[in-house]
Amino acid sequence: MLRISTVAVALLGGAAAGAASPCGALKAVGLGDRLISPNDTGYDTEVNSWWAKNSRQKADCFVLPRTSNEVAAALTTLVNASDVSNIAVRSGGHSSTGSSSTVNGVTIDLSHLNSTSYNAETNIASIGPGGKWEYVYAELIKYGITVTGGRDGDVGVGGFLLGGGNSYYSGRMGFGCDSVVNFEVVLADGTIINANQTANSDLWQALKGGSNNFGIVTRFDLEAVPAPDLLRDTRFLSFNYSYAMIDAVVGFADSDQSIADDAFFTFFSHNTEVSPDIFAAGVHVNTQGITNNTTPFDEAKALPAFYNVTKVENIADAASESKTQSGTWNYGLTLTFNNDKRIAQRCVELHTELVESLNALMAPEAYFTEMFLQPLPSYRWAFGRQNGGNVLGLDNLQNNALLYTAGVGVIADDAPVEEAHALLKAMAAKVVDFAKSVQGEMDFIYLNYADVDQDPLGTYGASNIQLMKNVAAKYDPTGVFQTRIPGGYKISQL
């Protein structure tokens, strides 16, 4: 292992011994000017910088390191502090499960580790975890390149890449994690190592889908791809045309790689700011900027849209224009099932029932819903293995699939958010029942879209679960990432 900072960290950790509290210990090791504490003017701004209201948790203090060595110092100081408290790790703060924040301890906020650089000789982009995709892209397009990153510009680099990463480029490159050739990682003992195909390759694989179970990633090195301006066509149609959208997404999921540069997803939404009625939406992107490719979306494009924007633009602008409203009480969940039109149609019916139930619970303008269907054509399953392996457990699948995500955002603070969340879960349970009834259910739960009580790691398959357990035991033998950093999905729970 490459030990860059162990000595410095040991010295700093020693200085912290006996300090009164974890926040006091951080001050004692010289990180005082990296702290935001409850009496500081920036404290509320920091708390409110998480995307979803339910993740805006008031830590005892926030520590915002600026280098990997400072991350190591912060982590070891907190682990060794005399008063034990929880630790949370945050990159973009976009998770709505509270996995990157804590109310009972200290949050390590990686927002300042947000640099982006590109090495043209190796074609590798090096990206800090705290970057947000719109700014990452804006930097990379100066070199004419991009990476397999997020579509919503406000999503953070760290959580996205550690949970998989579904991207406009996934048809060519697979999940975002499959483009990562090297992770720089701070381990629980403060050691800073690299994980790649030749060094710590077991950790490299485990981090591709295994989330925050092994260490804090302080840099991602990704293979870059050329970034011509892309075509983005967004359409909102009357609910009456829902089945045309389903035909489109089912067609994309059944497609072969001849249209791998064409990405598509559909969603169904209640949002009174857009329409008084539930509407059906389709978003089609061609990553090469080709405007006249024949795709399964063409029939829906021929239908009347009450909103349509078709643009050829760079990916930074596309990401910047694709942000979902922040500051709501937000709940989301996910499923995966066979690419079966009947299941997709049932999802649309059940979403309508959900909206009816929510309307009985609160004013229509007090909330919005989004129910997404995204195509997963079977050729995508091979990318993980081709790139050295991930732990998502998809390598041996044969079938075309649909990735289902449903969410509700409650705007009003006094609205019954827990009841809304319960209705969402009840709807998903009915989707599962229907998928089973037509033999269309699939195990995979995509971590980045999972609800707090879903079990994504448990769906990765026995060998990947064992690999993650082995990696956690090897690189974090005292279980810091299992017990002291409880947010997120923990391999020790399986």
Ligand X SMILES: Cc1cc2nc3c(=O)[nH]c(=O)nc-3n(C[C@H](O)[C@H](O)[C@H](O)COP(=O)(O)OP(=O)(O)OC[C@H]3O[C@@H](n4cnc5c(N)ncnc54)[C@H](O)[C@@H]3O)c2cc1C
* Chain contacts with ligand X (rule: CB under 6 A): 51, 89-96, 99-100, 110, 129, 150-152, 155-156, 158-160, 162-166, 211-212, 216-217, 324, 448-449, 487-488
Q: Considering the complex, what minimum distance in angstroms separates the CB of residue 14 from ligand X?
A: 25
How does strand 86-90 pair with strand 329-338? unpaired
The b/e string for 394-422 (b: 16+ C-beta within 10 A; e otherwise) is: beebeebbbbbbbbbbbbeeebebeebbe
Question: Quick one: 85 or 324, whose CB is closer to ligand X?
Answer: 324
Q: Considering the complex, what minimum distance in angstroms separates the CB of residue 462 from ligand X?
A: 23
Question: Quick one: 129 or 251, whose CB is closer to ligand X?
Answer: 129
How many Å apart are CA 126 and CA 134, to the nearest integer?
15
Q: Considering the complex, what minimum distance in angstroms separates the CB of residue 208 from ligand X?
A: 13
Question: Quick one: 157 or 300, whose CB is closer to ligand X?
Answer: 157
User: 465-468, long-range: CB within 8 Å, 24+ apart, which pairs?
Assistant: 465/491, 465/494, 467/202, 467/205, 467/206, 467/391, 468/206, 468/210, 468/213, 468/391
Distance from chain centroid for Cα 90: 12
Q: Which residue has the tokens 């409650």?
A: 410
How many Å apart are CA 220 and CA 136, to the nearest integer?
12
Question: Quick one: 27 or 151, whose CB is closer to ligand X?
Answer: 151
Question: Quick one: 219 or 346, whose CB is closer to ligand X?
Answer: 219
Question: Quick one: 404 or 449, whose CB is closer to ligand X?
Answer: 449
The residues facing 334 across adjacent strands are 405
Is the C-alpha dihedral spanning 455, 327, 103, 155 positive or negative?
Answer: positive
Question: Quick one: 164 or 393, whose CB is closer to ligand X?
Answer: 164
Q: Considering the complex, what minimum distance in angstroms separates the CB of residue 446 from ligand X?
A: 7
How many Å apart are CA 239 and CA 234, to the nearest integer?
15
Amino acid of residue 281? A
Q: Considering the complex, what minimum distance in angstroms separates the CB of residue 336 from ligand X?
A: 13
Contact status, residue 412 vs residue 362, Cβ threshold 8 Å: yes
Q: Considering the complex, what minimum distance in angstroms separates the CB of residue 176 from ligand X?
A: 7
Q: Give the three-class secondary structure for 400.
A: coil
